[in-house]
Chain A
Amino acid sequence: MNDLTRREILQKTCCGFGGLALNALLQQDPVFANPVFADPVFADPAVSDPTRPLVPKPTHFPAKAKRVLFLFMSGGPSQMDLFDPKPELEKRSGQALPYKLPDTEATVGLEQTKLLGPIAGFKPQGQCGLMMSEMLALTAAHADDLCVLRAVHADSPNHPLAIRQIHTGNLFDVVPSMGSWLSYGLGTENQQLPSYITILPQEGERNYSSAFLPAIHQGTAIQELGTGTKSPIRHLSDTQSPAQIQRQRIDLIQSMNRRQLQRLQSDQQMEGVIESFELAFRMQTETPKLVDISGESQETLDLYGIGQPPSDEFGRQCLLARRFSEAGVRFVQVSLGGWDHHNGIASGLKDRCRVSDKPIAGLLSDLKRRGLLDDTLVIWGGEFGRTPHAQNGDGREHNHHGFSMWMAGGGVRGGITHGVTDDFGYHGVDQRVHINDLHATILHLMGLDHERLTYQHHGRPFRLTDVAGKVVREILA
């Protein structure tokens, strides 16, 4: 492949498109040959070929983490019930509010609101004694790896806005998501796969969109877990035409396109189209293998709670995430909805913990035993947290003023908390971490300076952290 350009091969080869794609697969990374993927090899970082935008690029400084695995808990998990124990709140549960509600926020269901104590007990966990809810008994086994940020804050108490902020840093404008920024800044380890994958996204496309960055950095949505008839990626397969006809049809298109290219002599965009058909064909053949978990051992399936209600589906998501991360996908996101407990938080939150505790604990164990946790940054959290006061009697309202997230692996200090909320868990009061700070820290751990990772658009350089963001140095290992 070295001496001939791809175009020359396309022009000269007579074995047709399918043959070429196969050839390319054989010559390139044999990552799919084994159900446990070989450790992908970093290509020469000096390579910066504009026609291969996903080739790994040099970092600004040595990276602590090579990939991100974001566990997004959509809806706003309650921090006072999970990671931020508040004895004062427990003591005064049922009493009138000792603070004023902000008069700039329209309210619903808070007419006779009272303080609402935690719904379950807390216990110190691990050697570090990290306080965690009893509802997270399995994740607690990893307490010494967790770095809990207790005073994260965002700029909006509205789901769609806050969700967009945690994904893109921005509330309103159409801007790239953090996975797209990482793909743009670092390329990816495995050229056979998209650089950014989001598994069963709960929210709109804008949250995994590349916006003005080149479209190649768009998050690829896995819309099915590989058990049903729906293809895992949109339009990945043609279920109607006979298989050999599909191949023939693609070959015909490629030969028509090649003939046209010959006539035109030179056209980069046309060459790009021919390339894109080639990649599409590779994705069509290879992706289904990657989402097929039938080769995993029973022990592994059990570890993630697969095959057991209620953790089966989320367990599958987490296992897929591990497979993608292991295969070298730069940014993998797993989403779990249902954390928006305006009513009945006692039963609702317990339910979410039952669904997610085992898969997350399993994921951390699996990453660790495969040696992946050291350079994989795992992040857990929602778009905001919840209020210490009750809504509708037994639920909690959104709270973006101070809430908890945790990080593990890839260069963060385990077994610590960072940040303090007030006595009730309503506002962050010390060591607050804004979403922009969180993003700056993620980029930092990945070896990128958030102020230097920019893209020129509309006449000015844009960045993930806009004009803000401060790396949270205290949590760096």
Chain B
Amino acid sequence: MSINDQKSTLTLLLATIAALCAPRFSCADDPDEFFVKQALPIIEKRCLSCHSHAAGKAKGGLVLDSKSGWQQGGTDGPALVPFKPDESLLISAIRYDDYQMPPEEKLPDAEIAILEQWVAQGAPDHRETKRPAIDPAKLWALQPILQPSIPATWDSSWCLDRADAFILEKLQNARLRPVAQAPRNVWLRRVTLDLTGLLPTQAELDDFLKDPSERAHETVVDRLLNSPAYGDHWGRHWLDLACYADLADIQGDVLVREAWRYRDYVIEAFNADKPLDRFIQEQIAGDLLECHDQREHRELIVATGFLAIGPWTLQNYIKGQLAADVVDHQIDKIGRTFLGQTLACARCHDHKFDPVPTADYYALAGIFHSTKTTSYDGPGVWSQISHVPLPITPDDQSAYERLAAELSEKKQQLTKELDGLIKQDAQTRFTKKIEDDQANAITSTQNIDANQTGVEYRVSFLAGPSVWSDAGQATQATDGLVVQVLRADASVLAYHTLNPGAWTAQADSQSFSPASFQYTGDGSGPIQLHITSWAFTGRFGGAIDDLSVAVASDAKSIFTEDFSNCQLGNTQGIQAHTGRTVYAKCTMPNWTGSGINHSHMVDRGDKDQPNIALQFYSGSPRSTNHPRATEIQRELAAIDQRLESARPDKQTALAVAEIPEPADCRIYKRGDFQSLGDSIPRGFVRAISVSQEPKIPENQSGRLQLAQWLTDASNPLTPRVLVNRIWKELFGQGLVRTVDYFGVHGETASHPELLDFLANRMRIDDGWSLKKTIKHLVLSQTYRMASSHDPQFASVDPDNRLLWHMPRRRMTAESIRDAILTLSAQLDLGRGGPSLGLHLEGNIAGLGGNVNPPTWVGKVDPKVRNRRSIYLPYKRERPSGDLEILSVFDFPHPNDITGQRASTTVATQALYLINAPLMKEQARKMAEHWIAKVPDDQSERYRQVVAAAYSRAPDHAAIRDDAGKDDEEFKSVLEFLKTCKEAYEVSENLSDEQAAVSAWAELCHAILGSNEFLFYE
């Protein structure tokens, strides 16, 4: 107990004694005295054990140890209304009216009367806030970074890097010794996985083991740091902190399209070794930094994706709440990522442990409320993430023009070829009746929820007769359209046929007239609309426009499709007689069907553009059965798609921007955006002092100044937090193990001087270079240690805090997947670009008239499917489907700011390894690959497989023991292969060769599930 504590206890004791001795109500005339002598002792005795800072409890959010405590009140608002006991919650609670306080037992009536009287007197209370002041000067992480001297152990021959001296000194002080060096192959596997996330190849292993040079390790490290795989791996660590995902919203699949640009920015920043201070500044305020050319300008805008990409609840009905939550996440992200502080705790109240008052939170909140991240334009409930157009660089423009020229030439060739084919085929096809009545059907693929039992719905559209574009034919009275309402199981709920009437080749008769029919819902679920030409004639259908479904009684619209948003292909011809343009090649978002090529878009010729109707007919003058034609059409569509997506003027990034009128923010009392308190000038966390605090000009948000403040040479936290993160990636745990939290309840550093040494070296000597920092550390003697066990050392330091050996670690989830694909020879080292595959047919849902924004259907582009994990599409939920393996092995939730992933060992992982289709599929491919590579010699094949999977050195490949006999492991492997082969021959009736492949697939499957593969030392 400190002297202060003793003193306050004494005061309290005296006050209590005084109260007990005082005659009752004698001081009623002086309300202040009455409070001190009568009311306060009761409060202290009865209330403060659950409602005070001293007790560390604020039940219901209420503290009663100061006047401001009851003024502010708890979750139900102020506890007292001065002069009005009957309106005071506290009084009602002690009377046991509503709340029953204290919960154990009701107070004696006399005590209740005293408190009532005190409130009736106006509740005088002299006590000031009792928040225990946290002195920033006492918190190690907030102290200036020192320049520690290198320990004397530096002279030891063991030390290779100065960091080693700090490690060795601590070990010696604890009477521990570092274990021996790891074998070279073990070090190579370790450093290759840590720097690139990939396994070393056989050739890399051979090269290193044969390199006698003293610089052999350095050669490896330089090669790894210069490989693009380095950025792919370290970029992913950053994306964990940035809460990266390719899609938005809490259901995970709302399109945001452009997130990948930020991902590629991060990877390239790591590969280019962008100084970390600059890297931070760009991500907070890139749009406000000076730039030299358009390329850099582009990059700087994209960088702010750090702030723009996050777990926003875009469909939150309550927009004030959404804005507050976005700002809160941004503050939390910056606090944890750069400062190791849980600033977001101060959203509702002063931080409970750390010196972060609510006012500081709202000083930062003002900066982010002055920054545009999302916007709401209505109607409906959805907001959007801000998209910022990217400046066009001259290179982009000329690249696009080159591409356009090249493709246009290609397109002309293809079109010419297609025309030829069509001409050949046209004559015979025009008169041929299509037998299949589905041939020219289209169906709305979007389920329409218009099927409540007993409700009458009306399907309305405009209909008109149709003509060939060039055949000069007329329609007959029997030609027509069929519109069907289909249930989910494709059975017909209702249908309607329409004969628009014969058209007699007169231009003026082609007008549209309204048509409609009704049906009654049967409650069987969503319906689909299905439109075909009238099957029995096999001839013209007709044209249709402005299709809608509505509730019949009140015309409440449920679905509309006016075709005006359809994407037009090239003009394919002129309609006979009317002279109207025909767009024969058209695609309609949301619509598909086997008959799509048998329909066309025609310009209705009305004044308002675009004004398009859909025509159906059975058998197209522009089509041919020639297989090459389909191929050409596909190629043409792909060209259009490629050109469209390459248009430089269409490119945007998810990025933040300044708002026109930046302003300070008012405190949200208890975090509630509707209860406004004082206005707080924009600023930073006051407990973190920097030598020159930047001033925020009135007309700026303050992001630029925040970026400067974070990277200020005297900011004690940013470099410490960063080097600790780097250390953690290389040595398994941070010097401060709570890598995201350096606050009062975080851990202290195991090696405080080392942490400061590393922070200084990175910031000053190495100019914030990540690559240099990593290079020092992986070339250190500490990093070269083996993972050997030592019972004595383990009993002294079971958690290996002093690093007497290197830890054994499981590969990251991504490395496991990437390594499996490496071993099966499936890994595609392609990099960069969009990952969602939105150009794939049907991969975007929800574009038509729906209140919800478009979503990603989930098809992964074959182009990226086998790429490294970082390049795959991420939903805003734990990865599933093809990426389920990542979730199984502790990939973080993308909404969580994650500096250190969990490392779990659970049965679901074993089930996955044993049974998941991905494991079986890749094991078989792996077997096929290695059998092809080493066709004849089983033992050589096994040696090579384990060298690749386990990075074993050839002399440790465990085929023969010292006596030259098959060793135990290899014997059991041979036995296993034999059993498997026999089983497959018998039970599956496979040939000798097939059974051998299957047996090897089983062996590969076992290897992929073994610890020696999954872990590294």
Known A205-B878, A348-B452: A276·B906 in contact at CB below 8 Å: yes
B910 touches A279 (CB 8 A): yes
Q: Is B746 an interface residue (CB 8 A)?
A: yes
Complex interface: stretch among A178-186, A251-259, A367-375, A419-427: A251-259
With contacts A204-B877, A280-B910 known, is A392 near B556, CB below 8 A?
yes
CA distance A255 to B1009 in the complex (A): 12
Docked complex: B514-554 residues within 8 A CB-CB of A: 521, 523, 551, 553-554
Query: A211–B980 Cα gap in the complex (Å)?
Result: 40
Given contacts A158-B316, A238-B914, A269-B905, contact A256 B1010 (CB under 8 A): yes
Closest to B810 in A: A269
The verdict on B506 contacting chain A, using a C-beta distance below 8 Å, is: no
A215 cross-chain contacts in B, Cβ below 8 A: 890, 902, 904, 906, 908
Give the residue name and chain of the A residue nearest to B794 (CB).
A266
Q: How far is the CB of A71 from chain B (nearest CB, A)?
A: 23
Q: Whole-angstrom distance between the alpha carbons of A109 and B455 in the complex?
A: 17
Checking B250, B345, B907, B979 against A279 with a beta-carbon cut-off of 8 angstroms, the contacting residue is B907
**Residue contact B909 to A245, C-beta cutoff 8 Å:** no
Binds B, one of A42-50, A229-237, A295-303: A229-237
B-chain residues with CB within 8 Å of residue A394 when the two chains form the complex: 452, 455
Closest A residue to B376 using CB positions: A106
A307 in the interface (beta carbon within 8 A): no
CB of B380 to closest CB in A, whole Å: 6
Contact of A161 among B316, B554, B674, B1005 (CB under 8 A): B316
CA A106 – CA B345 in complex, angstroms?
28
Cα of A253 to Cα of B905 in the assembled complex, Å:
16
For the complex, is B912 an interface residue (Cβ under 8 Å from A)? yes
Nearest CB in chain B to that of A271: its residue: B905
**Contact code string B908-945 (vs A, CB < 8 Å = 1, else 0):** 11111111100010000000000000000000000000
Provide the residues of chain A in CB contact with B319, threshold 8 Å: 104, 106
| Residue in B252, B740, B911 whose beta carbon sits within 8 Å of that of A204 in the complex | B252
Of B494-502, B764-772, B836-844, B968-976, the one with at least 4 CB within 8 A of chain A: B968-976
Instruction: Verify B851–A276 contact, CB threshold 8 A.
Output: no
Write the nearest CB–CB distance from B971 to chain A, whole angstroms.
11
CB-defined interface of A446-469 with B at 8 Å, one 1/0 digit per residue? 000000000000111000000110
The distance from the CB of A111 to the nearest CB of chain B, in whole angstroms, is: 10
Per-position binary interface string of chain A over residues 340-375, scored 1 when its CB falls under 8 Å from any chain B CB and 0 otherwise: 000110011001000000000000000000000000
A250 / chain B contacts, CB cutoff of 8 Å: 914
Which residues between 56 and 90 of chain B lie within 8 Å of chain A, taking CB atoms? 58, 60-61, 75
Interface contact B1011-A157, CB-CB below 8 Å: no
Nearest Cβ on chain A to B553's Cβ, whole angstroms: 7
| Size of the chain B interface, CB-CB below 8 angstroms | 100
Q: Which residue of A lies closest to B75 (CB)?
A: A468
> A459: which of B316, B743, B787 is its contact (CB, 8 Å)?
B743
Contacts of B336 in A (CB 8 A): 458
Task: Indicate whether B987 reaches chain A with its CB closer than 8 angstroms.
Answer: yes
- Would you call B251 and A344 a contact (CB within 8 A)? no
> Smallest CB–CB gap between A211 and chain B, Å?
8
Q: Is B360 an interface residue (CB 8 A)?
A: no
Q: Which of A172, A252, A256 is close to B1011, meaning CB atoms less than 8 Å apart?
A: A256
- B987 and A242 form a contact (CB under 8 A): yes
On whether the beta carbons of B980 and A245 are closer than 8 Å, the reply is: yes
Known pairs A344-B455, A470-B60; A242 contacts B911 (CB<8 A): no
Query: Which chain A positions have C-beta within 8 A of B379?
Result: 108
With A249-B1006, A256-B969, A460-B342: A105-B878 Cβ-Cβ less than 8 Å: no
- A240-B920, A266-B791 as given contacts; A351 in contact with B523, CB under 8 Å: yes
Are A205 and B317 in contact, with the CB atoms below 8 A? no
* Residue-wise interface mask of B (849-860) relative to A, using a CB-CB cutoff of 8 A (1 in contact, 0 not): 001000000000
Q: Does B311 contact A (CB under 8 A)?
A: yes
CB within 8 Å of B: which A216-248 residues: 216, 218, 233-238, 240-242, 244-246, 248
Among A249, A267, A470, contact of B1002 (Cβ-Cβ < 8 Å): A249
Contact A273 B1011 (CB under 8 A): yes
Within 8 A of B (CB), among A284-308: 284
Q: Give the chain B neighbours of A38 by CB distance below 8 A.
A: none
- Segment 365-383 of B: residues with Cβ below 8 Å from A: 376, 378-381
The 8 A CB mask of B318-354 against A (1 = contact, 0 = none) is 1111000100010000001000001001000000110
Q: How far is the CA of A468 from the CA of B912 in the complex (A)?
A: 39
Residue of B nearest to A105 (CB): B317
| Given A280-B911, A347-B453, residue A174 in contact with residue B896 (CB < 8 A) | yes
Residues A238 and B915 in contact, CB atoms below 8 Å apart: yes
Cβ contact within 8 Å between B317 and A157: yes
Chain A residues, CB < 8 A from B1006: 249, 252-253, 256
The answer to whether B983 touches A244, judged by C-beta atoms less than 8 angstroms apart, is: yes
Query: How many cross-chain pairs have Cβ atoms below 8 Å apart between A and B?
Result: 237
With a cutoff of 8 Å between Cβ atoms, the chain A residues found around residue B787 in the complex are 264
Is residue A380 within 8 Å, beta carbon to beta carbon, of the partner chain? no
Residue contact A106 to B381, C-beta cutoff 8 Å = yes
Which residues of B sit under 8 angstroms from A344, Cβ to Cβ? 452-455, 521
A272 at the A/B interface (Cβ < 8 Å)? yes
- Contact assessment for A264 and B789 in the assembled complex, using a CB-CB cutoff below 8 Å: yes
Contact at B896–A270, with CB atoms within 8 Å? no
**A338, closest chain B residue (CB):** B525
A270 to B915, CA, bound (A): 20
Answer whether residue A265 sits at the interface, using C-beta atoms and an 8 A cutoff. Answer: yes
Decide: A161 and B911 in contact? CB cutoff 8 A: no
Find out whether the CB atom of A106 lies under 8 angstroms from the CB atom of B317.
yes
Whether B895 is near chain A, meaning CB under 8 Å from some CB there, is yes
Shortest A165–chain B CB gap in Å is 12
From known contacts A174-B893, A347-B452, infer whether A460 and B318 are also in contact, taking CB-CB under 8 Å.
Answer: no
Identify which of residues 68-117 in chain A touch chain B, using a CB-to-CB cut-off of 8 Å: 104-109
**Given known contacts A240-B920, A269-B810, A467-B61, A253 and B907 CB-to-CB distance under 8 angstroms:** no
Residues of chain B within 8 A of A347, CB atoms compared: 452-455, 523
Partner of B969, one of A104, A259, A277: A259
CB neighbours (8 Å) of B325 from chain A are: 172
Closest-by-CB residue of A relative to B1013 is A256
Q: Which residues of A contact B1009 (CB under 8 A)?
A: 253
Q: Once the chains bind, are B906 and A460 in contact (CB under 8 Å)?
A: no
Contact of A260 among B551, B890, B1011 (CB under 8 A): B1011
Asked whether any CB of chain B lies closer than 8 Å to the CB of A124, the reply is no
- Determine which of B317, B449, B523, B988 lies in contact with A242 in the assembled complex, contact meaning CB atoms within 8 Å: B988
Q: If the complex has contacts A252-B972, A276-B907, are A242 and B984 also in contact, measured as CB distance less than 8 A?
A: yes
- CB-defined contacts of B904 to chain A, threshold 8 Å: 214-216
A464 to B886, CA, bound (A): 27
Q: Specify which of A164, A253, A267, A281 is in contact with B789 (CB 8 Å cutoff).
A: A267
Chain B nearest Cβ from A252, distance in angstroms: 5
A264: chain B residues within 8 A (beta carbon): 787, 789, 808
The residues in A between 388 and 419 inclusive whose CB is less than 8 angstroms from any CB of B are 392-394
| Interface flag for A195 (CB, 8 Å) | no
Contact string, A192-223, partner B, CB cutoff 8 A, digits 1/0? 00000000000011100101101110100000
**Among all A-B residue pairs, the 6 with the closest Cβ atoms:** A344-B452, A280-B910, A347-B453, A215-B904, A272-B905, A459-B741
Interface on A for B, CB 8 Å cutoff?
104-109, 156-158, 160-161, 164, 171-174, 204-206, 209, 211-212, 214-216, 218, 233-238, 240-242, 244-246, 248-250, 252-253, 255-257, 259-261, 264-267, 269-270, 272-273, 275-277, 279-281, 283-284, 343-344, 347-348, 351, 392-394, 458-460, 467-468, 470
Q: A172-B311, A256-B1010, A256-B1012 are in contact. List 20 more A-B contacts (CB 8 A).
A: A106-B381, A109-B556, A160-B250, A171-B313, A174-B895, A215-B902, A234-B884, A234-B912, A238-B914, A245-B984, A252-B1003, A256-B969, A257-B1011, A269-B810, A273-B910, A280-B907, A284-B915, A458-B738, A459-B743, A468-B60
Name 15 interchain pairs, CB-CB below 8 A, sorted by A.
A172-B329, A206-B893, A209-B878, A211-B896, A235-B911, A238-B920, A242-B984, A249-B1005, A277-B907, A277-B910, A279-B907, A283-B907, A284-B914, A343-B455, A393-B556
